[in-house]
Amino acid sequence: MPYVKWTESMSVGVPILDSDHRALFRIVNQLHDYAESGAQDDVLGAIFDNLIAYIEFHFAREEKVMQACGFPALAPHLEEHADFTRTIHELRERYTGAHDPALTEELLEFLKDWLNVHILIQDMAYKPYVLAEDDTREAALVVPGVPHKSP
């Protein structure tokens, strides 16, 4: 059974963002599964690093979508992303060389709580704006750091 599970009630109305969210859940589940199996710290560290990279990629994409749809609460949402990213980086720093299963459990609980609350509350707040603007789907296709060509 997955540690965290994405459900249709978490859909934000932009398929690629929903796909990003499902990918984040898969990474968290992978981290959990490897931690439960007693994997070596370097394996867990690599998964952790993958999680950080994907979070930063996803946040950049999601922020473009919120800008494109004129989401009025963009600034506090950006701050929430920044706070989360800071916390994840702090946990990663503490994790490096710690060899502490309690820290892995702390990370997993933090991720589980944050993903569920953030998606179901903060991300749902932009859903009506996304659904009202056709341009948001195009904005979601712009991959941060990669030149975009219209189809």
pLDDT at position 77:
96
- The yes-or-no verdict on residue 146 having pLDDT over 50 is no
Nearest to 61 by CA among 136, 6, 1: 136
The end-to-end CA distance of the chain, in Å, is 40
Question: Which tokens is 106 given?
Answer: 């702390």
The pLDDT tens digits for 15-66 are 999 999 999 999 999 989 988 887 777 777 888 889 899 999 999 999 999 9
Question: Which tokens is 71 given?
Answer: 């989401």
Model pTM score: 0.85
Show the domains of the chain with their CATH numbers.
14-141 (1.20.120.50)
Residue 149 — pLDDT band, cuts 50, 70, 90?
very low
Q: What is the dihedral of CA 127, 128, 133, 135, to 10 degrees?
A: -10
The pLDDT tens digits for 64-110 are 999 999 999 999 999 999 999 999 888 888 877 666 778 888 888 99
- Secondary structure of residue 144 in the 3-state scheme: coil
Question: Which tokens is 135 given?
Answer: 């341009």
Q: How many CA atoms lie within 13 A of 141 on its CB side?
A: 9
User: Phi and psi for 36 in degrees, rounded to 5?
Assistant: -65, -30
